[in-house]
């Protein structure tokens, strides 16, 4: 039983997702319960899997018993174990938020579990085509969930997301085709050796690298491929924004890291330094452009979405630096960003429900009116800026140290400047929350917020996210150890 | 020599033309349904690319027989079968969204929609 853990983690949410659909024939109220039970088991199983990776190292699994490299292989190393656990915990946490906040239909929870399936599959797979399939499963579920918003613009945002996302995934598939043409294999470990044998300067290999990484950067929403993201996040229901903002781009960024270290390997970076420079340049542009766009926003949820563009620039920069320090930093920031951004979206949802405020101006003086929501929002926002002891500080610090070790001073300057820009848009919000005169009249707020009360679960989720954003700092040494022990060799500083 | 390259790789040219037509339609067409069709054409270009990779001159179907000789690679066909299924689901979701957009806004023209959307 225990040796089947990797495949169980993928199969469990699919089966769980089918239950509410069938149950819809009889009752319309079981979706949330089934999803919660499934996710609870998912978290338990991923913790068990994480424990196995911690004690015995990388776990390999041949799906259906087919001989590797002909069959599909699932590989769980330190990086995947961390991300799988993150998926489970965040998805379970958001369910606590969704109990009152909705959406409520059985079909939505079937999609919710399908999204978890896709994300888990992307994380544990060791096969580049299998990664494409799970990428599209994730995409399909995400498009459906974004469209589940009650207002009409949600459908427009979802269609925009679908078209851009499909082009990104298709480019990735084209890249897989080039890799297949060069080597004749799809297994990641096999590709690593075969690509080296073909020669890293071969046109086929270079094109495959460009298309695969380029396709995934669309899904991660790096500038200038981010245009779908603000619309999608701002129009989806609050619980869905929290889930998608926390996980979908995160797992795509994880996939970039996986390709860099397990498929192309750091030897590719040594042989073709231009590829590394190009990726770093894209990441740095994203960091600056994302923050700048965020500063110009007045709608809080759109601002949070643009902030993601910048934060994922940081993560990709960390992966592209590929030194041990930077990769640990990128992983820590990946986990930290998921917790903090999910929490921020949830907190903005709580504040909106209590007061009806959605814009920067509307947040004025709400600190006392919504103590738990505003307090958590402030803690998470400061964590995102990188104020110690929050986890946002540790991730950024490690990435910057990695850049210093690599001697890439322009990157160091960009990373430090980005912290200032992040401070520019978050400090402004926190200042409004606590030190400005209220602008929204109380009567209007009660009329708007009164019929959509904030449940204990919603408050618990935002406070929990704030606590976790600080507490996770204690887990950094463990993350560092499990990464450095199980990841393929990284660049020497 | 040059002419040989031109005539022997015509399937690759077909791939490039399909990808180009698909992307162009996707970007330039104001009509949402045409955009989705452009997306389909783009994906079809990629399917053709994989099928082209599998082809061997004078190759037989991948069923092992005596003296069967060179076989066509079955792997890309299997991959593309999966990718076609993915493509069909995406098209279905896209069309469902388009139906909803039409019933809400009464238009499929992107420019009109943007005006309504950002009001």
pLDDT of residue A483: 85
- How confident is the prediction for chain A on average, in pLDDT? 87
B109 SS3 class: strand
- Could you tell me the pTM of the whole model? 0.92
Tell me how far CA of residue A345 lies from CA of A45, A128, A164, A330, A462, in angstroms: 27, 32, 23, 22, 9
B50–A180: do the CB atoms touch at under 8 Å?
yes
Residue B45: its pLDDT value, please? 93
Three-state SS string over chain A comes to CHHHHHHHHHHHHHHHHHHHHHHCCCCCCCHHHHHHHHHHHHHHHHHHHHHHHHHHCCEEEEHHHCCCCCCCEEEECHHHHHHHHHHHHHHHHHHHHHHHHCCCCHHHHHHHHHHHHHHHHHHHECEHHHHHHHHHHHHHHHHHHHHCCCCCHHHHHHHHHHHHHHHHHHHHHHHHHHHHHHHCCCEHHHHHHHHHHHCCCCHHHHHHHHHHHHHHHHHHCCCCCCCHHHHHHHHCCHHHHHHHHHHHHHHHHHHHHHHHHHHHHHHHHHHCHHHHHHHHHHHHHHHHHHHHHHHCCCEHHHHHHHHHHHHHHHHHHHHHHCCHHHHHHHHHHHHHHHHHHHHHHHHHHHHHHHHCCCECHHHCCCCCCCHHHHHHHHHHHHHHHCCCCCHHHHHHHHHHHHHHHCCCHHHHHHHHHHHHHHHHHHHHHHHHHHHCCCCCCHHHHHHHHCCCCCCHHHHHHHHHHHHHHHHHHHHHHHHHHHHHHHCCCCCCC
Query: Across residues A254-264, what is the average pLDDT?
Result: 91
In angstroms, what separates the C-alpha of B14 from chain A's closest C-alpha?
Answer: 15
pLDDT band at A299 (very low <50, low <70, confident <90, very high): confident
Q: How far apart are the CA of A182 and the nearest CA of chain B, in angstroms?
A: 10
Look at residue A261 and tell me whether its pLDDT is greater than 80: yes
Two structure tokens written together for B100:
């909803």
Whether A166 and chain B come into contact, CB under 8 Å, resolves to yes
For residue B39, the chain A residues in CB contact (below 8 A) are 163, 166-167
Mean pLDDT of A156-181: 92
What mean pLDDT comes out for the span A258-282? 89
**B97 → closest Cβ in A139, A155, A173:** A155
| Binary contact (A163, B35; C-beta < 8 A) | yes
Question: Is the bond into A69 cis (omega within 30 degrees of 0)?
Answer: yes
Which residues of chain A lie closer than 8 angstroms to B93, CB-CB? 140, 143-144, 162
Nearest Cα of chain A lies from the Cα of B67 at a distance, in angstroms, of 24
Locus of tokens 């929990």: A464
A453 φ/ψ angles, rounded to the nearest 5 degrees: -70, 160
Chain CA centroid to CA B106, Å:
29
At B34-76, the pLDDT tens digits run 999 999 999 999 999 999 888 887 778 878 777 777 888 888 8
Q: A370 CA to chain B: closest CA distance, Å?
A: 30
- Is residue B29 reached through a cis peptide bond, with omega within 30 degrees of 0 on the bond before it? no
Q: With contact defined as beta carbons under 8 Å apart, do A90 and A107 qualify? A: no
**In Å, how far is B3's CA from the nearest CA of chain A?**
22
Residue A441 pLDDT grade (very low, low, confident, very high; cuts 50, 70, 90): low
Can you tell me whether residue B25 is helix, strand or coil? helix
Q: What are the chain B neighbours of A139 within 8 Å (beta carbons)? A: 90
Q: Which residues of A touch B76 (CB under 8 A)?
A: 177, 180
The pLDDT tens digits for A457-488 are: 788 888 988 898 888 888 888 888 888 888 87
In chain B, which residue's Cα lies nearest the Cα of A135?
Answer: B86
Percentage above 90 pLDDT, chain A: 33
pLDDT exceeds 50 at position A443? no
A156 and B79 within 8 Å at the Cβ level: the answer is no
Give A111's contacts (C-beta < 8 A, 6+ positions apart): A17, A141, A144, A145, A148
Cβ distance A177 to B46 less than 8 Å, yes or no, reads yes
Is pLDDT of A140 > 50?
A: yes
pLDDT given at position A447: 46
Using CB atoms and an 8 Å cut-off, which of residues 177-196 of chain A contact chain B? 177, 180-181, 186
The better pLDDT of the pair B116, A240 is held by A240
Contact yes or no for A48/A85 (Cβ under 8 A): no
Residue B101: list chain A partners with CB under 8 A: 152, 155-156, 159
Q: Nearest-5° angle of CA A53, CA A57, CA A58?
A: 85
- A167 and B117 within 8 Å at the Cβ level: the answer is no
Per-residue pLDDT at A449? 47
Contact state of B93 with A153 under an 8 Å Cβ cutoff: no
Assess contact for A128 and A209: CB atoms under 8 A: no
pLDDT at A360: 80
Does B51 contact chain A (CB < 8 Å)?
A: no
Whether B76 and A180 lie within 8 Å, measured CB to CB: yes
| H/E element, B2 | helix B2-8
- Which residue in the set A162, A170, A177 is minimally distant from B93, CB to CB? A162
The pLDDT value recorded for residue A269 is 87
| Residue A429 token pair | 């919000």
Report the chain A residue with the minimal C-alpha distance to residue B104.
A152
Half-sphere exposure for B66 (CA within 13 Å, toward CB): 0
Residues A349-375: tens digit of each pLDDT: 888 888 878 788 788 877 778 888 888
pLDDT value of residue B6: 72
- Per-residue pLDDT band for A440 (boundaries 50, 70, 90) equals low
β-partners of residue A60 are A75
Higher pLDDT, A262 or A368: A262
Residue reference for tokens 């050796």? A193
The minimum CA-CA distance between A162 and chain B, rounded to whole Å, is: 7
Residue among A129, A158, A173 minimizing CB distance to B97: A158
When computed from its CA atoms, the radius of gyration of chain A, rounded to whole angstroms, is: 21
Q: Can you tell me the distance from the alpha carbon of B42 to that of A249, in angstroms, rounded to the nearest whole number?
A: 24
Contacts of B113 in chain A (CB under 8 A): 156
Q: What is the reported pLDDT for A446?
A: 47
Q: Which of A144, A156, A186 sits opposite B93 (nearest CB)?
A: A144
Backbone angles phi, psi at A343, to 5 degrees: -65, -40
Q: Which of A234, A363, A227 is nearest to A303 (CA)?
A: A234
How distant is the Cα of A306 from the closest Cα of chain B, in angstroms? Answer: 18
* Least confident span in A10-19, A23-32, A301-310, A387-396: A23-32
Within an 8 Å CB–CB cutoff, is residue B109 touching chain A? no
Nearest chain B residue to A137, by CA: B86
Q: Is the pLDDT of residue A43 over 90?
A: yes
- More confident position, A386 or B87: B87
Q: How far is CA A149 from CA A91, A112, A308, in A?
A: 18, 14, 21
pLDDT of residue B112: 82
**Which chain A residue has its CA at the smallest distance from B77's CA?**
A177
Q: Which residue has the higher pLDDT, B116 or A43?
A: A43
The DSSP element (H or E) to which B114 belongs, if any, is helix B110-117
Contact A170 B42 (CB under 8 A): yes
Element (DSSP H or E) covering residue B14: helix B10-28
């Amino acid at each position: 039983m225990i040796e089947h853990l990797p495949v169980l983690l993928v199969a469990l949410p699919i089966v769980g997702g089918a239950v509410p659909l069938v149950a819809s024939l009889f009752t319309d109220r079981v979706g949330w319960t089934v999803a919660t039970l499934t996710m609870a088991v998912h978290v338990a199983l991923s913790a068990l899997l994480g424990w196995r990776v911690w004690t015995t190292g990388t776990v390999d699994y041949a799906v259906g018993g087919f001989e590797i490299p002909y069959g599909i292989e699932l590989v769980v190393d330190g990086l995947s174990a961390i991300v799988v656990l993150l998926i489970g915990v965040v998805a379970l946490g958001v369910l606590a938020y969704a109990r009152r906040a909705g959406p409520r239909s059985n079909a939505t929870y079937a999609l919710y579990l399908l999204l978890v399936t896709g994300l888990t599959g992307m994380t544990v797979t060791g096969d580049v085509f299998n990664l494409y399939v799970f990428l599209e499963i994730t995409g399909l579920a995400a498009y459906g969930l974004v469209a589940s918003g009650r207002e009409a613009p949600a459908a427009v945002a979802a269609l925009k997301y679908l078209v851009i996302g499909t082009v990104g995934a298709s480019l990735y598939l084209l890249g897989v085709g080039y890799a297949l043409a060069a080597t004749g294999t799809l297994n990641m470990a096999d590709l690593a050796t075969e690509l080296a044998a073909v020669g890293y300067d071969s046109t086929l290999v270079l094109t495959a690298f460009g298309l695969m990484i380029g396709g995934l950067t669309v899904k991660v929403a790096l500038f200038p491929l981010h245009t779908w993201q603000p619309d999608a996040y701002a129009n989806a229901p609050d619980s869905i924004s929290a889930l998608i903002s926390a996980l979908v781009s995160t797992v795509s960024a994880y996939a970039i890291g996986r390709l860099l270290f397990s498929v192309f390997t750091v030897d590719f970076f040594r042989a073709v330094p231009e590829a590394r420079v190009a990726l770093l340049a894209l990441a740095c542009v994203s960091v600056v452009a994302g923050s700048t766009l965020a500063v110009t926003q007045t709608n809080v949820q759109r601002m949070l979405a643009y902030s993601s563009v910048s934060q994922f620039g940081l993560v990709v920069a960390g992966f592209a630096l590929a030194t041990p320090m930077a990769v640990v930093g990128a992983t820590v920031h990946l986990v930290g960003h998921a917790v903090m951004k999910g929490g921020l979206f949830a907190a903005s949802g709580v504040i909106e429900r209590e007061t009806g405020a959605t814009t920067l101006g509307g947040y004025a003086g709400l600190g006392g009116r919504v103590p738990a929501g505003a307090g958590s929002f402030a803690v998470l926002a400061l964590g995102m800026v990188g104020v110690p002891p929050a986890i946002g500080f540790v991730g950024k610090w490690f990435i910057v140290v990695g850049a210093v070790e690599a001697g890439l001073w322009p990157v160091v300057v960009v990373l430090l400047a980005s912290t200032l820009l992040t401070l520019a848009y978050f400090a402004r919000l926190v200042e409004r929350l606590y030190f400005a005169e209220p602008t929204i009249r109380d009567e209007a707020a009660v009329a708007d917020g009164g019929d959509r009360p904030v449940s204990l679960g919603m408050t618990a989720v935002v406070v929990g996210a704030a606590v976790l954003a600080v507490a996770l700092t204690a887990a950094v040494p463990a993350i560092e150890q499990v990464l450095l022990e199980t990841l393929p060799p990284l660049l020497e500083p | 020599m040059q002419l040989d390259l031109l005539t022997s790789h015509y399937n690759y040219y077909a791939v490039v033309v399909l990808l180009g037509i698909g992307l162009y339609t996707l970007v330039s067409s104001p009509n949402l349904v045409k955009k989705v069709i452009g997306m389909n054409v783009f994906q079809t270009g990629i399917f053709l690319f994989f099928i082209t990779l599998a082809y061997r001159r004078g190759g037989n179907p991948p069923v092992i027989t005596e003296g069967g000789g060179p076989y066509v690679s079955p792997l890309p066909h299997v991959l593309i079968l999966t990718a076609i299924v993915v493509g069909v689901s995406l098209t279905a979701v896209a069309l469902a969204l388009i139906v909803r957009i039409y019933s809400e806004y009464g238009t499929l023209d992107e420019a009109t929609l943007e005006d309504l959307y950002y009001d």
